[in-house]
Copies of this chain bind each other. A is one copy, B any other.
Amino acid sequence: MKYFEDLYVGERFISEAYEMSEERIIAFAEHYDPQVFHLDHEQAKETFFEGLAASGWHTGSVTMRLMAQTLPIATGVIGGGVDLRWLSPTRPGDILHIEVEVIEVTESRSKPDRGTVQIHVETKNQHGETRQTIDTRLLVFKRPQ
């Protein structure tokens, strides 16, 4: 597992895959985003999405799962926010993975035990189509002395 001083600009991490089945898309939407284009294959055809699409929050939450599995940060994946863009709708049958790149590594000026690590995260399907991007700064602690 890595601490702040182990991470470097340009470092990349690639996750395993996660399948976005129609069942999973609908189950997530029923609780967290109950709108017709996320719930009903047939009725979704008449909407802006022209077919069933996953809630963007489902894509985001699966991205978090893949980050937690993939980023080997000893003190956990902790962030204070994200800039999140949905570039295209996640569709049933998409098999998602994430590609993470370290953009910037910054020591805290006030707290000597930590720093922030800016990352760019692309969530892509099995055809290389980018469904979502996240830009965020993670709080990462240094190795305990």
Q: Which residues of A contact B (CB under 8 A)?
A: 28, 31-37, 47-48, 55-58, 60-62, 64-65, 68-69, 75-86, 139, 141
Contacts and interface: CB of A to CB of B under 8 A. Distances in A.
A19 B48 CA distance: 32
Contact of A32 (B35, B37, B47, B62): B62
A39 to B, nearest CB: 11
Contact of A76 (B31, B48, B60, B81): B48
Give the interface SS of chain A, mostly helix, strand, loop or mixed: mixed
For this chain, the copies found in one complex come to: 2
A40 to B, nearest CB: 13
Given A32-B64, A33-B65, A57-B60, A139 B85 contact: no
Contacts of A61: 28, 32-33, 55, 57-58, 60-61
